[in-house]
Structure 1
Amino acid sequence: MRSRQGITELFATFLQFDADRAVGWATDARLRRNITNRQQKLSKPEDSEDFWVSYWYKEWQSQTQNLASAHLTAYLQEVCYWAANKTATNFSSAQYTLPDCFQAIATKTDKVLQGFKPNMGFNIKNYASAIFSSELKELLRQQKEVDISTDWRLLRKVTQKRLIESLENSGLNPQIVERYVLVWKSYQALYAPRKEKGTRKLAKPDDAVLQSIAQLYNQQRQSQLSQSGPECKGKTAEKCLVACAKAVRAYLYPNMTSLNATTGDNSGEFQDILPQLRQDSLLSEIEVEEEIQERKTQQSKIGDVLIAAISELDEQGQNIIKYYYQGDLKQSEIAKKIGVKQYTISRKLSKYKETLLLKLATWTKESMHISLDSSVLDYMSTVLEEWLQNYYKPETQELN
């Protein structure tokens, strides 16, 4: 498989998999036509990657051209692949393959675009990589928690809000959802509290307990349900609880359907069912080019600020940061190499990263006149993480 070349390939192609391996790129015809039309309207040919990133991002912001999001999704496919590859490699999960992980986060482009702050001069690929990795790690962490839980432990841990969302998502009508939730509340009241909190293999309630759950449900259904419905028996309560657990699993971790799966009417792929574009652009080439130049200048200055901040750390701090982000050493190995206790590495790493973040935040406030609220600091922390990874691993990755 080769890396994509040219603007059309960067902004109109999607990664294809065969089994567990990426095999090439498929071009979306509508996106290709859209780029061709836009290129013809420019006053001069434009092959700059930065230009088209800014171009589509501004169109996405203005919401005047619905294909802008699709173009940027295509552009971030390779970033998504490497984030999935890195995370899947480091997270043992026999259930999900690399294509599964890729597809789980490939639809998160809107979250990237919503959080991205171009006025701060950061690169969208670096930010997207951090977001994709974070989203996938959380998905796999939660999936592991569900995988090791029995239905009965899962029902003890789930919140009422999440249970209702799960049942509604499964297509049940409101009255049935009410009944299932009341059975679950009865289970919580009579069975779950008896077990130790750390027990993972919570056993199925015996027939006597199930009958008690059904009796409690029957006592409360007149006052707590909008429509009381029929009485419940022990076996019925068991079926309801098992259905609740199944709904929660399906809601939290749905089957990962391929982005290239055909639609029911065989009319094409999901990628083809995209909103019709508007031909009129609200962007000027000059405006985009000015923004690109300003962003490059900001990126260079930010890099200088962080490099200077690293040089101001003590020798131990510089070494911990370097060894950690080079990725070749475990924390125990870093501790041995530096001559400290293993448990101090995580604490010291957090301390040094906070120092770098403070330097960056101070410079941003003074030089770029950006107010530092919690969302901005969270954004800067995310980008700092990716910047450090790229700084200590500068080599370019390619799909071959």
Structure 2
Amino acid sequence: MRVRQNITDIFSTFLLFSDDRASGWATDARLHRSIKAFLDNSDKYKEDFLAVYWHKQSQTSKNPQLALGHMSAYLQESCYWSVHKLLPRLQESQEKMSDFFQIAIAGVPKILHTCNPDVSGSLKAYASTTFANIIRNYLRQNREVNFCTDWGLLLKISRKILIESLQNSGYDTPTIERYVLAWSCYTHIYLPQKSPQIRQRKAPDPEIWQQIAVYYNQMRRQLSSNSAECTKETIERWISECGAQVRKYLYPSIKSLNSPKPGYEEGEIQDDLVDTSSSLLTELIEQEEQTTRLDQKNQINTLLQEAVTKLDESAQQLLQLYYQQNLTQQQIAKQLAVQQYTVSRKLSKTRESLLLTLTRWSQETLHITVTSDVVKYISTTLEEWLQTYYTQKL
């Protein structure tokens, strides 16, 4: 590959591939005009200065697309060599080097957002490391997806991945809420089931599906929109759809840019081979992650139980009436001979107290940076815990 030397080329040209090899550089006319106009004001600008300048513009400009284009051009060599160094690992994949280059270079916006040149030093060095991590994560993710059944995959993913998968497939918000709640009930019931490997979990038995459906019907009040009671057949269909969408999201089918036109391509035996080997290190990491999750779940359970016992008697009574006896706020107000707004205010205040306790614990123990999205997630976790805690006390 010919390395670019000219400043104008460095910030306005993009790598071309032919037969999966770097074959030259293509000039983007708009970027070329932009950098030429910039350099006409002074010919003393150096590469590092321009890189920092366009990086800042990509983060602060009202129209960052031009700056993003310059930075994407600037990082072409860094991306190429990052992928080139990983070639031995890429041999096992059906994608070609040019495909991996496109996968990595698509991460430029994220790199620019997370990199601070004043702290990270060389922007190219930071980008090179991140490009390599993007490819490694892609390979690890695809390998994991290939090993897992849909039922096992759903026990390993996070809520965030599930939501992103469903959003990517075009599901509306009420449907996503129902599916996420059904998935939460599925993991709550099916994860503790004894099985040698989570990866190869088979579909739950009818009795398990019935337990999941019952649990969902108990928890459905927390949905923002009304949801009718579900049968075990409906829950099974929803969970099956979740598995299909997560697999499609995590492992999209990629058509190589260098593939022959339809009608001319031929299949290979290796396309149908499945790697059945299992890394001992991967298994140990998986067990450690599961142990950590269970330990955190136990810590949260102990924390919230203690927090509930420290509430005043009226707050504890209110939680019992609402979550354990499933009374509405209006019914509670009538039973306690108070106004409904008093019940609503007291209930909100009690939840806020527990939410604050759980949030502080997350900051101090898990070192989580609290954002609005994090607070929403913690709030949902708290609501699920309250439902489960008082249901189990029946």
Q: Which residue of 1 aligns with 2:235?
A: 237
Partners of 1:62 and 1:209 in 2: how far apart?
A: 52
Which residue number in structure 2 is paired with residue 86 of structure 1?
Answer: 85
SS of 2:11 mapped into structure 1: helix
Partner of 2:138: 139
**Letter aligned with residue 79 of structure 1:** S
Q: What TM-score do the two structures reach when normalised by structure 2?
A: 0.56
How far apart, in 2, do the equivalents of 1:186 and 1:65 lie? Answer: 44
Distance 2:51 2:107 in 1: 17
Partner of 1:28: 28
User: CA separation of 1:54/1:216 partners in 2, compared to 1, >3 Å: closer, same or farther?
Assistant: closer
Structure 1 counterpart of 2:386? none
Equivalent-residue separation in structure 2 for 1:190 and 1:118 (angstroms): 47
Q: Secondary structure at the match of 2:23?
A: strand
In the TM superposition, residue 60 of structure 1 has moved relative to its aligned partner by 4.2
Q: Residues 172 and 19 (structure 1 numbering): CA distance in 2 closer, same or farther, change over 3 Å?
A: farther
Counterpart in the other structure of 2:245: 247
| Aligned twin of 1:74 | 73
User: Could you tell me how far 1:257 is from its partner in structure 2?
Assistant: 8.7
Q: Distance in 2 between matches of 1:32 and 1:52?
A: 14
When residues 93 and 222 of structure 1 are mapped into structure 2, their CA distance, relative to the original with a 3 A threshold, is same
Unaligned runs of 5+ in 1: 260-373, 375-400
Contact persistence 1:146–1:154 (CA under 8 A): yes
Distance 2:243 2:38 in 1: 50
1:194 partner SS: coil
Superposition deviation, residue 249 in structure 1: 2.8
How far is 1:191 from its partner? 3.0
**How many Å apart are 1:91 and its aligned residue?**
5.3
Q: Which amino acid aligns with 2:13?
A: T
Report the CA distance between 1:153 and its aligned residue.
0.4
Which residue does 1:200 correspond to in 2?
199
CA distance in 2, matches of 1:77, 1:179: 43
> How many Å separate the matches in 1 of 2:148 and 2:23?
36
1:229–1:83 Cα change, 3 Å:
same
For 1:292, the equivalent position in structure 2 comes to none
CA root-mean-square deviation: 3.3
Aligned to 2:212: 213
Give the CA deviation at 1:240: 1.0
Equivalent position amino acid for 1:38 in 2: F
Amino-acid identity (%): 42
1:8 aligns with 2:28: no
Counterparts of 1:161 and 1:120, CA distance in 2: 29
Amino acid at match of 2:223: L
Deviation at 1:124, TM superposition (A): 2.5
Residue by residue, what CA displacement relative to the aligned partner does 1:126-178 show, whole Å, maximum 9, x if unpaired?
A: 22212221232233223322221110001112233432333233322222122
Question: Which whole-Å CA distance do the structure 2 matches of 1:84 and 1:258 have between them?
Answer: 16
How far is 1:74 from its partner?
A: 0.2
Change (3 A) 1:191 1:56: closer
8 Å CA contact 1:148, 1:200 repeated in 2: yes
Write out per-residue CA displacement over residues 40-78 of structure 1, whole angstroms, 9 at most, x where no aligned residue: 222xx4585345334434544653773223212101111
Counterpart of 2:124? 125
The SS at the match of 2:25 is strand
Contact 1:211 1:234 in 2 (8 A): yes
- Please say if residues 195 and 202 of structure 1, whose CA atoms lie closer than 8 Å, have aligned partners that are also in contact: no
> Closer, same or farther in 2 for the Cα pair 1:165/1:125, shift >3 Å?
closer
Separation in 1 of the partners of 2:24 and 2:198? Answer: 46
Measure the CA separation in 2 of the matches of 1:121 and 1:168: 34
Partner of 1:110: 109
CA contact (8 A) 1:101 1:136 kept: yes
Indicate the residue corresponding to 2:363 in structure 1. none
The counterpart of 1:56, out of the listed 54, 57, 61, is 54
Q: Give the 3 Å change call, closer, same or farther, for CA 206–127 of structure 1 in structure 2.
A: same
Give distance in 1, aligned partners of 2:53 and 2:192.
Answer: 57
Name the CA distance, whole Å, in 2 between partners of 1:220 and 1:120.
50
SS in 2 for 1:193: coil
- Give the whole-Å Cα distance in 1 for the aligned partners of 2:188 and 2:57: 53
Mind listing any 5+ residue stretches in structure 2 that lack a counterpart? 258-366, 368-394
Confirm or deny: 8 A CA contact 2:145 2:153 kept in the other structure: yes
Between Structure 1 and Structure 2, how many residues are aligned? 257
- Distance between the aligned counterparts of 2:49 and 2:189, measured in 1? 63
Residue of structure 2 equivalent to 1:179: 178
Deviations 1:110-135 (A, max 9, x none): 34334445446943222221222123
Contact 1:103–1:258 (8 Å) recurs in 2:
no
Deviates further, 54-63 or 235-244: 54-63
Aligned-partner SS, 2:192: helix
Residues 291-317 of structure 1 show CA distances to partners (whole Å, capped at 9, x for unaligned) of: xxxxxxxxxxxxxxxxxxxxxxxxxxx
Query: For the residues of structure 1 that align with 2:242 and 2:120, how far apart are their CA atoms?
Result: 47
Match of 1:154 in 2: 153
Q: Which of 237-246 and 20-29 deviates more?
A: 20-29
1:225 corresponds to: 223
Distance change (3 Å), C-alpha of 1:123 and 1:201: same
